[in-house]
Structure 1
């Protein structure tokens, strides 16, 4: 299932929780859509969304289409190893693999969401 419809509500929730609007958002290809990129642009949030690493690309046609999506692909390609998207891959994605391996919740999405939330809260508490 694509995360596409959840991106804007997640950003809104982050804004309420953090008491300020995030300046940047990094997301995987499941969140990359014209609507999401436009919504982030309207909120003046810099977006870094992968345009094609998911097994099922965000665009229905399976191709990178739409002006905003193409522009995002060019932005990430120009940034190469300095891209915020690369940082997401290095910092955030391994956490999911660690949790799946340690907890064994590969097929249980609801439990995985709870574990990820607890994991993030623990990291935030330690950072404070």
Structure 2
């Protein structure tokens, strides 16, 4: 009975967090709609419920993990983040969260880079999952030369014939005008090899520990091992 009560309490807490996250995302969308001069389509959305879905289930193996979308469907997971130096493929910042969206992770990674290295990066590239007016503004405020994919337009064009807020429009033009040699076009040569080495070469496929703090420490260890191997190879090649 106690286990069931604990599971119900956890489901209620999850539902409340999910509702808060949904409200945050909707507020960000509304802010972007206003910046783009678009009207909110259709009827006002119903407020997200803080009550657990009657069909909701609790993961007793690791209740702190979350259901996230992957290329193979939906899985119980954490969101592992890494910022990689473009020249040496050293991981300069890492994080692990319970949030499936990458959009809220760009600024924390930039701040982690500043904390770890004692200076901000001069340049940063990222996939479309990280693109938002707020993130692009954060890069501009820090005078970081950003290359963040705007992604495909899911909304009709606005009055001026363009899609996205002013910073998103400027970023789309910047990437399009830069051709195939921009840092954005070359980003896959920076981050993807690192994750490939971790997964393929070292056989890391899933976390062995449970609970976000332990899994976060495990991810930190994995990133540290990667960096030590990179430094060892660089020293031998010198």
Q: Which residue of 1 aligns with 2:11?
A: none
Q: Which residue of 1 aligns with 2:230?
A: 123
- Give 1 or 2: higher helix fraction: 1
Q: What runs of 5+ residues in structure 1 fail to find an aligned partner?
A: none
Q: How many angstroms does 1:116 deviate by?
A: 4.0
Cα pair distance change 1:26/1:127, threshold 3 Å: farther
- Structure 1 runs of 4+ aligned residues shifted over 3 Å read 61-64, 110-114, 124-128
Q: What is the rounded CA distance, in whole Å, between the counterparts of 1:112 and 1:80 in structure 2?
A: 35
Q: What SS does the aligned partner of 1:84 have?
A: coil
Please report the TM-score for the alignment, with normalisation by the length of structure 2. Answer: 0.43
Please report the TM-score for the alignment, with normalisation by the length of structure 1. Answer: 0.75
Deviations 1:14-39 (A, max 9, x none): 01111111111111111111110001
Q: Which residue of 1 aligns with 2:118?
A: 19
How many residue pairs get aligned? The number is 120
Q: What runs of 5+ residues in structure 2 fail to find an aligned partner?
A: 1-99, 156-162, 208-214
Q: What is the rounded CA distance, in whole Å, between the counterparts of 2:134 and 2:177 in structure 1?
A: 23
Question: Contact 1:23–1:45 (CA<8 Å) still a contact in 2?
Answer: yes
Which structure's CA Rg is the greater one?
Answer: 2
- Aligned-pair RMSD on alpha carbons? 2.8
Q: Which residue of 2 aligns with 1:4?
A: 103
Deviations 1:101-123 (A, max 9, x none): 33151x65x56665345324543
Q: What SS does the aligned partner of 2:136 have?
A: helix
- Give 1 or 2: higher strand fraction: 2
Q: What SS does the aligned partner of 2:230 have?
A: helix
Cα pair distance change 1:20/1:112, threshold 3 Å: closer
